[in-house]
Amino acid sequence: MSLVIRNLQRVIPIRRAPLRSKIEIVRRILGVQKFDLGIICVDNKNIRHINRIYRDRNVPTDVLSFPFHEHLKAGEFPLPDFPDDYNLGDIFLGVEYIFHQCKEDEDYNDVLTVTATHGLCHLLGFTHSTEAEWLQMFQKEKAVLDELSRRTGTRLQPLTRDLFGGS
């Protein structure tokens, strides 16, 4: 099924082709390539607006995920009844926020890939509200990013590696 990447901002240049190719690999690693997925790149103003509406936080953020199948447990796959239900949901990337959070030694396009992978894990029911949930999500992200790194010759680390004092 399709992967749609929309760039709805003009603040930070986005190279959609490398992001698309890496997220297609991530989808295959996770076994969800048959599901539609939307990735929408927005600026700080728009990610802050979405964050305020849906999470009651009036600040920009890096990623917001909106699952099509809302009640999945961590790592569960959706079991669609109809062809139109082969949809994972949408990931909003706060690309301006992500760009400004990048460290000097980090490649911005790699950080976009890691952040989108984090959002994709959220669409599959993973969360990080507690240390136990974080550990489960961290392990899944690390496994996926390790395999992606092996396939692409990169060295990607999970987004939440330091959330609960992780590695």
For the record, the structure tokens of 140 come out as: 């899944």
CB-based burial label for 37 (10 Å; 0-12, 13-18, 19+)? buried
pLDDT of 166 above 80: no
Take residue 166 and report the two structure tokens written for it.
Answer: 């992780």
CA 30-107-129 angle, 5° bins: 50
d(CA 116, CA 64): 9
- 121 vs 117: CA distance, rounded Å: 6
pLDDT number for residue 163: 65
User: What average pLDDT does this structure show over 124-143?
Assistant: 94
Percent pLDDT > 70 in the chain is: 95
- In whole angstroms, give the CA distance from residue 8 to residue 67: 20
Instruction: Look at residue 1 in the predicted model and tell me its pLDDT.
Output: 77
> SS3 of 94, please?
strand
The Cα angle at residue 150 between residues 120 and 123, in degrees rounded to 5:
5
Domains in the chain, ordered, with CATH? 3-152 (3.40.390.30)
Predicted local confidence at residue 103, as pLDDT = 87
Contact assessment for residue 68 and residue 87, using Cβ atoms and an 8 Å cutoff? yes
Give the pLDDT mean for 75-80.
91
pLDDT tens track for 88-110: 999 999 999 999 999 888 999 99
Distance of CA 122 to the CA centre of its chain: 7
3-class SS of residue 54: helix
Query: What is residue 111's predicted lDDT score, i.e. its pLDDT?
Result: 95
Query: CA 95, CA 69: separation in Å to the nearest integer?
Result: 25
Residues 5, 16: contact at Cβ < 8 Å? yes
Beta bridge partner(s), residue 5: 39
